[in-house]
Amino acid sequence: MSTHLAQRLAGGSVLLALWAALLPPPAFADLSSPPATASNQRETDAATDERVVRRLIEQFQSAELTLNQAIRIAEKLHTGSRTVQISFEISDPPAYRVKTVKNDDVWENVIDSRTGNIAGDEMTSSLMAMDEADRDNIIALRSTRQCLADAVVVGERAASGKALGGGLMNKDGKLNFVVVVASGGDLKQVTLEPPRAGRRSGIRRSHTSPPQGD
């Protein structure tokens, strides 16, 4: 598995879609306002995003379950299912939201990060109800031996931290795993490409870039 990228995530708008419902929408400058006003608004939005990120990391540090433990719990609910998305959520209590699939069935569960218990009702849907990009990624996953849990192990090692989210992404027409890692006071995104069919399954790192600022 090749590591293509490890970069610092600065601001809520770059936290993938894993926390889209959690973070505030990206700011758009009002062109009718004086430049100073637009600049101040961007600074305010950036400060708000940073506070949300800090709160997310603080709650994550109190989690008893690791991301991979939550993945295993979710996959045991439906034998043979595979995780396609997982994210740590700010809630009471803090929890992981996990989406698993098997054939054409899709399940979404919330797992208490302190006890490992299932919180709330399970949500069910079908593969055909998902948008085309997500559906294509899941179909591509079927021919991949590696799973999201494997990518989490590599991502944590690459970014020197603990994973709090992960999912699938298409990059240049190829399936990639994306893992978000809490490292120190930052969030880092690691993108990993599974080896092509026929290649040995050993993990190979191709490139890891240093954390980047704004």
For the chain, the domains span 12-60
What is the rounded CA–CA span in Å between residue 46 and residue 113? 28
Strand arrangement, sheet containing 174-183: 2-9, 186-193, 174-183, 162-171, 82-89, 95-102, 105-112, 118-126
pLDDT attached to residue 26: 35
Segment-wise mean pLDDT, segments of 10 residues, the chain, 214 residues: 51 39 36 56 64 87 95 97 94 93 97 95 95 94 93 94 94 91 89 70 39 38
What is the rounded CA–CA span in Å between residue 203 and residue 155? 11
Task: Copy the structure tokens of residue 127.
Answer: 């593969």
pLDDT attached to residue 50: 79
**Three-state secondary-structure class, residue 33:** coil
What is the rounded CA–CA span in Å between residue 6 and residue 211? 7
pLDDT attached to residue 8: 47
Task: Copy the structure tokens of residue 86.
Answer: 């997982």
pLDDT attached to residue 47: 62
pLDDT attached to residue 206: 33
pLDDT attached to residue 211: 37
The pTM score is 0.76
pLDDT digits (tens, 9 = 90+) for 58-69: 999 989 999 999
pLDDT attached to residue 194: 86
What is the rounded CA–CA span in Å between residue 93 and residue 37? 38
